[in-house]
Structure formats: C-alpha cells, structure tokens
Structure 1
Amino acid sequence: MKGLIQRVNHACVRVDGEAVGSIQRGVLLLLGIEKEDDQAKADKLLHKTLNYRIFPDEQGRMNLSLKDTGYELLIVSQFTLVADTRKGMRPGFSKGAHPEVGEKLYDYFVERACSDAPGLIQTGQFGADMQIALENNGPVTFMLES
C-alpha cells in the first residue's frame, strides 16, 4: 500500500464538476492499493499518515502531526501510484489490486480514519474520474509505504 501525502493549505476533489470532498489546512492523501495489501497494511499506513510529523512546531521544525494539530485529511484513491514504471514508456498495472478488492480496502481505510480522527476526514469517490485542486504548503510531499 502506498500513500502520497501532501501538506496543503486547502484541497478539493470534484466528480462531474461537483465537490465531493474538501479540506482546509491539512493533508491530501493519494492512496494506492496493491494486490498483496490487507487490513494490517491499511492500519499501518493510516497510523503513519495520522502521526507523520510534517507540520511546523513553534521553532519551525517539522515536529507535529495531523493528530497533534487537529488538521484535516482528504483521502483520494489513486491506482496509478502502484504502477510499474521501471521498463518501457507505458506504465504497467499488474501490481494493483482488483477494483472490487481495492474498493473494500479503501472503504476499510476510510472507516478506520473516521473512527481515529472523527470530523476531520473527507474523501474522493473510489473509481471515479476526479479533479483535484490543491495548494501545497511548502511544498511538502512524502511517499509512505506499508
């Protein structure tokens, strides 16, 4: 399981021109689910996402997490994160989870996130063609893997 996290001032995801998820200051998480992923890997990545210290403390050091700050989290599924790009000029998607399996694990991840950080979670729409607008703060972007 891979998660690309970006520290944002705000972010919004739209489907068919309509906003389905929007946050102010916090983290945009682009979530890629692979064939071998399971609930244990989802739990590990969620813990890391909520506790990864990417926000500045009083001294300006990246020392605070989403949990520490109470900022928001926007979770968006993105199967292209798990693409194999090592060879050729076209990505391969054989490592990605089957859509039905991926959706179940995505739903599990979102459910756990809502439980761990109530009121702070927004989402995209699994499998939809989504447009994301964001203002990256920093810029600060990290790839997390479980």
Structure 2
Amino acid sequence: MAAEFSPEQIEDFKESFGLFDRVGDSQVAYNQVADIMRALGQNPTNKAVNKILGNPTADDLANKRVNFETFLPMLKEVDAQPKGTMDDYIEGLRVFDKEGNGTIMGAELRIVLATLGEKMTEHEIESLMVGQEDETGSLHYEAFVKHILSV
C-alpha cells in the first residue's frame, strides 16, 4: 500500500488543484483530472483515470466537476499503482533494436507510438522526438528513455 501523503504534500496538492479551478467554485472539470495528476508528478494513462472517474461519458468529462476532497483519494489510487522503471522502458524498446547496436529507427518508433497502447497524436509524437534522431533517422533508445524520464 502506498504511504500516506504528508500534510505539507496535501497543502501543495490543494494549491495546485486550485490553479485548475477556472470557475471559482473550488472544483475542476472531470476532463482536467488527468492533467492535474500529471502536474503533481504522476503519470496515469487516460484509461486509468477514466476507470477512477467511473468511466464517464464525453458529456460527463466536459460537464461534471470534482472537489479536492473527492480528488485526493483518486490521486492516492494513482500513486499506489505500479510504475514502470527506466529498465522496463529500455527493455520494451530493445525489441525494435534489430541490429543490437542500441538504436532504433525513429520512423518505427513513431508508428508504435501512434498505433499501440495509449495512442499518441502526431503533435505529441513530434514534440517527444525533437532532437532525438541522428542523421540516419535512428535514435539511441537508452538516452531517449533517460531524456523522457528526466522531463
């Protein structure tokens, strides 16, 4: 079980939560919950957040709101979920290293990011890949993972 958040952390979380309150009613829209969690250092998938929210409809995502007292247990649930390690991500990319030289083709990674798992948009992929490929279109996946996890 995940450790409880300290009172200082909870105050920081509450302050950050308040920054997303666009209406001034101490609540945020369902469609902002994932963004708030990510701003607080978590990295949940959209699927995990939707499950925590009770699989809301598109209308619910846009119109339903949640207060901090309801949000905090959701954040704890995400925090308790197992996290991938750097080695997990490197091992996942090693599958695409056909030559065994520590590189993969950027074009192949783009296809994977756009089509498998939690699909990314072209814009998200391009912003992720900026400056990562060499002149041959390859990228060193270990350095890539280190870069991603340091951001």
Same fold at TM > 0.5? no
More strand by share: 1
TM range (shorter): under 0.3
Relative contact order higher in (CA < 8 Å, ≥ 6 apart): 1
TM-score by length of 1: 0.25
More helix by share: 2
